[in-house]
Structure 1
Amino acid sequence: MTQSTGKRLLQYALTAKKTFIAALLLLSIGVAAELAGPFIAKSMIDNHMLAIEKPYFQTVDSSKEAAEYNDTYYKRGDRFEPGEAKGQEIRLLQEGRSFYFINEAVAQPEGQRTYRDGVLYIQRGDNELSYPAVKLSATELFSFYKPELPGIYELVGLYALFLVISIFAEFGKTYWLQSSANQVIRKLRTDVYAHIQRLPVYFFDNLPAGKVVSRVTNDTEAIKDLFIAVLSNFSTGIINIIGVYVAMFLLDVRLGLLSLFLIPILVLWIILYRKIATKYNTIIRSRLSEINAIINESIQGMSIIRIFRRQKQRREEFEGLNDDYLKYQNKMLNLNAFTSHNLVNSLRSLSFVLVLWYFGFGSLNGTTFVSLGVLYAFVDVLGRMFQPITGMVNQLANLDSSMVSAGRVFTLMDEPGELVTDGSMPRYKGKVVFKDVSFAYKKDFVLRDISFEARPGETVALVGHTGSGKSSIINLLFRFYDPQRGSITIDGQEVTDMPKQWLRSHMGIVLQDPYLFTGTIASNVSLGDNRISRERVERALREVGADKLLSHLPQGFDEPVVEKGSTLSAGQRQLISFARALSFDPAILILDEATSNIDTETESVIQDALEVLKKGRTTFIIAHRLSTIRSADQILVLHRGEIVERGSHEELMAIGGRYFNMYQLQVGAGAAGGAGISAVPITPAIAASSPL
């Protein structure tokens, strides 16, 4: 059973778990350092700024912890050492913007305060107390605050230290998160590309190349956003929210419980958002894939589009896809604009209203158990929670897009691929036997009861009209497909019993339209195989006569080759393809009318090399010009998937059947490629022109 997308992404994330853990550890340290700020502020307010209202006692201690007023020293009660003598208790209480000195103990300092005619009145419910009080000047008030300054300076220094820790933790978190994300995406792309190379050939017959490219590039890039932006914001957000709630419960349990209403709202909103966004993102990723496909197809066929003047039609088709893509992108923008900022702002406002309504007013006048320092710290902590919430909400679009893209990538990776078998097999002799082989790409059989034998070193030519089954025989020989009935053996061994990589390692092909890769002429001959030395490459090029046609190039065999070898002539490309096959020394060689696109002069150059190339190899020729296969040991004439004639050129001419008529038609028409027969292109997977 296929695993969920989330679990598979987690498995990939675990490949870089060390850096992820390091990043999350630094993230936790950074969050703790940031959340230390409100606690420091709380301590500064409650233990220093507002602590001036705590009880003071007369003392003979004239140290920095004591305040001097009217030639008498006073010290806060909580700063006396055990056993230290305490004198008369006094209080400093605030009313409005002023502080008042009360030279006695105050029974209930909490309540509504008013000052009239030298008396401070404190009313709490129906009970009102009065105390004689003296208003303090700014200088007198500062003398009581002066002992608090060392503690305040210490807290400011501690805040700066936590700030520095937070900065370094943020840097480390960002670096390690992005580093680990890049590692994960590198592995994912490598795995996707490796899996594409294991997919059977028929998979690519039904899926445009542009869509495959989109899976490897665009979709994996979207997954990269998941690991970098989404994971960073969500992990930061979750750890921040956990830290914030821990801080809120440490400050006050009731305030923490009151704020829990945010969690179910966020979870519910994320579920509803993804339900809508997934539908839009699925269409968006699909349209982007189709856009890539049509661009790729248009570039590949640009000459045909211009020759037949189809620019307008192709542009309209592209604009249709592009407009549809824009429509759903706008729907996503509307969804994000309508929900993200509105939700966060609404939640923030609602949270502050509830906190201030329930606790705020009572804290300001001292009628509740929550101090002003606790309230300030709580509001500060609560405000800090909405920054990560905003980051998480803003990344929901990327989260959903990344999950849709990951689903598309994993769907591709779930396609059954061919097994890769390590090792190799000895070079076989090349005796090929088809026995009662029948094959269908879909429902209708394109080959029916095909039987023939090709002995080692023998040349077998396949001729017939378009669709007669010539290329299908080659596809079966390469095991791009397997027949529904019958058997194919090489040297007496069933090809289905051989690993495909081993089987193809001793096969080579030269196509009518050879495929060249970006690189150099030499690299297109060796295909980067370490077993093929530079000397072997140059020898193969000389043996096929390539040195004569390529000698004028500025860099010789190191001349750069662009995509498909478009800067080289058809003859030059064909010679390179010939040298490629020769350098790999295959036991079985397939020639897809290798000389049909070459001028007469170039053809004469490689005719001798062809004879050398075919020696000791079983050679299959898909014939276009029948004059080129007169020397074939065996000619198979196919018609509608059946072998209707077989024999040498002389034998078939003597019969006077279908082959005779085709040959006479070509000779009589004086054309190299007669109307009655055409070359059938082998399936695109063979177009690599390599021994695979």
Structure 2
Amino acid sequence: MKKNNKTLFQFIPYMKNAKREYIFGLGAALLSTLGSVVAVYLLAKIFDNVEGTITQKIIYRSLLIVAGYGIMQIASGLLTYIRNIFLVAGANKVYVRIQTRIYDHIQNLPISYFDNMPAGSVVSRITSDANVIRKFFTDTFVNIVVIFLKLFFIYIVLFSVDIYFAFFMLLLIPLMYFIMVLYNKFTVNTMIKYRKTYSECSAIINESYQNLEIIKSFNKEEESLNYWKKANDRRYKYGLKINFFDATLLHTLTGFLQILIFTAVIFYYSYSYFHDNKFGITIGIAYLFINYSQDIIYRLTDFTAEISVYTRAISAAVNIGEVLELKVEEDTGKITAKDNFQGNIKFEDVSFAYKYDSYVLKNINLEIEKNQTVAFVGSTGSGKSTIMNLLIKFYEANKGRVSISDEDVKNYSRNYLREQIAIVLQDSFLFEGSLLDNITPTGDENLAKKSLERVGGSFILEQGRTLQSKVEDGGNNFSTGEKQLICLARALAKNPKILILDESTANVDSQTEQYVSRAIEELKVGRTTLIIAHRLSTIKNADKIFVLHYGELVEAGNHQDLLEIGGRYSKMYRTQTKGE
């Protein structure tokens, strides 16, 4: 339980960013709560004033009390409004900071973390779980503060009016605390499981949405639905269990306490009345007891209800905490600039495994000179993409040394190294924003236009579009070929020393491929280019071709040399050209 509390309240320091809002909000909460308690006390005084003979003096005094009561209620309502304005604003600031922290942390996690984490689960933690934390700071935290303030002021009045009844009402606090402990004992772990299954359901929905075409084409709708139903059934069972404890502990027991207190007040007043007002209880004090006891019950009931939200916040905080506890990608490289960074690459006895000792690269030795164009070929799983991942420091080699410009890549700062490398992937990706933003983050329109022009993408701006034209989510308002040309323009605008092309012409038609191929030829000039290729016809002019097979480098040479050897490359090439 202590660990859970620490996990949730680790977010309280974020409130520093909203000091002004919380100071004004809590100040207004203090005054509004005091006003509402005093207003009831004044109303009780009115009842006592009108008891017995009505005189002008009593009427005048009663009118003053009524005026005071009205002013108190209006002021309390106004202060409550001010409280809500400031505290909600403060809570939203906290929420934005928490969400930003999670997003920033996720951005800086190693790529390896996402190998086994579904995208939907990550999104759920940024949005859904963070929103539960926001609700805690927006509503629950504020409500708990108001509850304690109200109880404090009510008990002050009760002790000043009737010490016996006040002590009797104090018994409610340990009783409600016991209910709260009981509730937490039965629900915290269940709530954590509920939040986890909620994330699982989100992940399944996200995965299904992204692969809807595949699901439909293979008639997997029912299977996909059943898979989601199983996860949702687990979530439903956990939710049912939580609702059972909500109904039993938060409603049934507190309802019983309300009946008990009302009975006690009626008995206390009746006993005093029929024994010559033995305890000095007037009609006003009786009203005070009934009103305050009802308020105490309501506040304690609210408190136990807020514990339910608090428990949900704990489970959300545990989910978020699991992410925030993950170590971010450490940047141990010290080199942030290098005058002679030329782009020559060397792999020396490099071996790498994503998991344990299941090596996907085995003792790789290769050398690429600056400004050379080289290609990597091989069947799926041969290690082509892994070589690129090591080069750009997504992962680090388990054995051996990867160097660029005669310097181990480990010694380069991550940011500096990635500034020198541009990647164009098979699945071209555009950011939501403007066309200009997608080509260069500097906002340099001349650079963007020249880059588009050099890769043969000028026609993109000749169709009623401008550099300020909106790019929709995923670049859906651009064709596949246009997106690829924009990605190539982005790479050119970056002016890298090393260019990585991962099947950049695989998803385009033959006519668009000519545009893209010409753009690539322009892009290759004056830089080291690494191409991952499946269509061997696209790499015939490469200076060197490396052939990988199950993580081993089995052949190397230019196109003609490899054909003459008659090995694996030659067989692959003949197989492909037969089908053309």
TM-score range, shorter chain: over 0.9
1:175 aligned to 2:85? yes
Match of residue 232 from structure 2 = 322
Deviation at 1:433, TM superposition (A): 1.6
Instruction: Return the alpha-carbon distance in structure 1 between the equivalents of residues 40 and 542 of structure 2.
Output: 91
What does the per-residue CA deviation read over 1:437-463, in whole Å, with 9 as the maximum and x for residues that have no partner? 110000211111112222211112111
- Structure label with greater radius of gyration: 1
Rounded to whole Å, the distance in 2 between the matches of 1:420 and 1:182 is 33
> Are residues 1:435 and 2:348 paired?
yes
CA change 1:542–1:455 in 2 (3 A) is: same
- Equivalence map 1:328-347=2 (5 Å): 328-347=238-257
Quote the Cα distance in structure 1 between the aligned partners of 2:144 and 2:493.
Answer: 55
**After alignment, is 427-436 or 576-585 more displaced?**
427-436
Contact 1:280–1:332 (Cα < 8 Å) also in 2: yes
**Displacement of 1:419:** 4.2
Describe how 1:581-592 pairs up with structure 2 within 5 A.
581-592=491-502
Say whether 1:396 aligns with 2:307: yes
Partner of 2:146: 236
Residue of structure 1 equivalent to 2:203: 293
Question: By how many angstroms is 1:567 displaced?
Answer: 4.5
Whether the 8 Å CA contact 2:485–2:519 is kept in 1: the answer is: no
Q: 1:378 to 1:448 in 2, by over 3 A?
A: same
Partner residue of 2:130 out of 215, 220, 230 = 220
Please tell me the root mean square deviation across aligned C-alpha atoms, in Å. 2.5
Matched residue, 1:645: 555
Runs of 4+ more than 6 Å apart: 420-423
Question: SS of the counterpart of 1:632?
Answer: coil
Structure-2 separation of matches of 1:34 and 1:607: 76
Kept in 2, the 8 Å contact 1:251–1:378? The answer is: no
Residues 1:546 and 2:457 are matched in the alignment: yes
How much has 1:201 moved relative to structure 2? 0.7
Match of 1:31 among 33, 58, 68: 33
- Give ranges in structure 1 of 5+ residues lacking alignment: 53-140, 672-692
User: Aligned pair in 2 of structure 1 residues 6, 570: CA closer, same or farther (>3 Å)?
Assistant: closer
Which is strand-richer, 1 or 2?
1
Q: In the alignment, is the contact (CA less than 8 A) between 1:198 and 1:420 conserved in 2?
A: no
> C-alpha separation between the residues in 1 aligned to 2:278 and 2:338?
90
Residues in 1 aligned to 2:81 and 2:506: alpha-carbon distance in whole angstroms: 64
Matched, 1:666 2:576: yes
Are 1:359 and 1:370, in contact at CA under 8 Å, matched by a contact in 2?
no
Tell me the distance in 2 between the aligned counterparts of 1:163 and 1:235.
20
Q: What residue is the counterpart of 1:510 in the other structure?
A: 424
1:359–1:368 Cα contact (<8 Å) kept: no
SS in 2 for 1:395: helix
Offset of residue 552 of structure 1: 6.0
SS in 2 for 1:331: helix
Q: If the length of structure 2 is used for normalisation, what is the TM-score? A: 0.92
1:437 counterpart SS class:
strand
Instruction: Tell me the residue number matched to 2:73.
Output: 163
- Normalising by the residue count of structure 1, what TM-score does the alignment of the two structures yield? 0.78
The match for 1:610 is 520
- What is residue 337 of structure 2 aligned with on the other side? 425
Give the aligned partner of residue 469 of structure 1: 383
2:8–2:313: 8 Å Cα contact kept in structure 1?
no
1:88 alignment partner in structure 2: none
* Residue 520 (structure 1) shift: 4.2
Residue 655 (structure 1) shift: 2.5
Deviates more, 1:585-594 or 1:325-334: 325-334
Aligned counterpart, 1:478: 392
- The CA distance in 1 between the partners of 2:269 and 2:65, in whole Å, is 26
Which of 441-450 and 351-360 deviates more? 351-360
Question: Is 1:40 aligned to residue 42 of structure 2?
Answer: yes
How far apart, in 2, do the equivalents of 1:670 and 1:587 lie?
36
Equivalent residue number for residue 360 of structure 2:
446
**In 1: Cα distance, 2:8 partner to 2:513 partner:** 59
1:186 matched residue in structure 2: 96
Contact conserved, 2:269 with 2:281, CA < 8 A, in 1? no
Identify, as 1 or 2, the structure richer in helix: 2
Return the letter of the residue paired with 2:579.
G
Q: 2:14 matched to which residue of 1?
A: 12
Change (3 A) 1:381 1:597: closer
- Taking only the aligned residue pairs, the percentage that are identical comes to 33
Please say if residues 514 and 574 of structure 1, whose CA atoms lie closer than 8 Å, have aligned partners that are also in contact: yes
1:543-582 to structure 2, matched below 5 A, reads 543-548=454-459, 550=460, 553-555=463-465, 558-582=468-492
Paired residue for 2:296? Answer: 385
Q: CA deviation at 1:423?
A: 11
Q: Which residue of structure 2 aligns with residue 497 of structure 1?
A: 411
Q: Distance in 2 between matches of 1:295 and 1:344?
A: 39
- Does the C-alpha gap of structure 1 residues 593 and 248 become closer, same or farther in structure 2, counting only changes over 3 Å? same
Correspondence for 1:137: none
* CA pair 302-4 structure 1, distance change in 2 beyond 3 A: same
Shift of 1:420: 6.9
- The aligned residue for residue 65 of structure 1 is none
Distance 2:458 2:401 in 1: 42
Please give the alpha-carbon distance, in whole angstroms, between the structure 1 residues aligned to 2:59 and 2:504: 94
Query: 2-side partners of 1:499 and 1:256: how far apart?
Result: 67
**Aligned 8 A contact 1:247 1:381 in 2:** no
* Residue 554 (structure 1) shift: 3.3
**CA 1:558–1:13 in structure 2 vs 1: closer, same or farther (change >3 Å)?**
closer
Q: Decide which moves more: 394-403 or 326-335.
A: 326-335
Give per-residue Cα distances to partners, 1:344-379, cap 9 Å, x unaligned.
Answer: 222222223334445641255435243314444333
Moved more, 269-278 or 337-346: 337-346
- What is residue 117 of structure 2 aligned with on the other side? 207
Paired AA for residue 193 in structure 2: I
Post-superposition Cα deviations, 1:39-85, rounded to whole Å, max 9, x if no partner, equal 32444455x345x6xxxxxxxxxxxxxxxxxxxxxxxxxxxxxxxxx
Structure 2 unaligned spans of 5+: none
Counting only pairs closer than 5 Å after superposition, residues 267-282 of structure 1 correspond to structure 2 as 267-282=177-192
Aligned residues: 574
Residues 119-198 of structure 1 aligned to structure 2 (within 5 Å): 141-142=53-54, 145-198=55-108
Query: Which residue in the other structure is 1:124 paired with?
Result: none
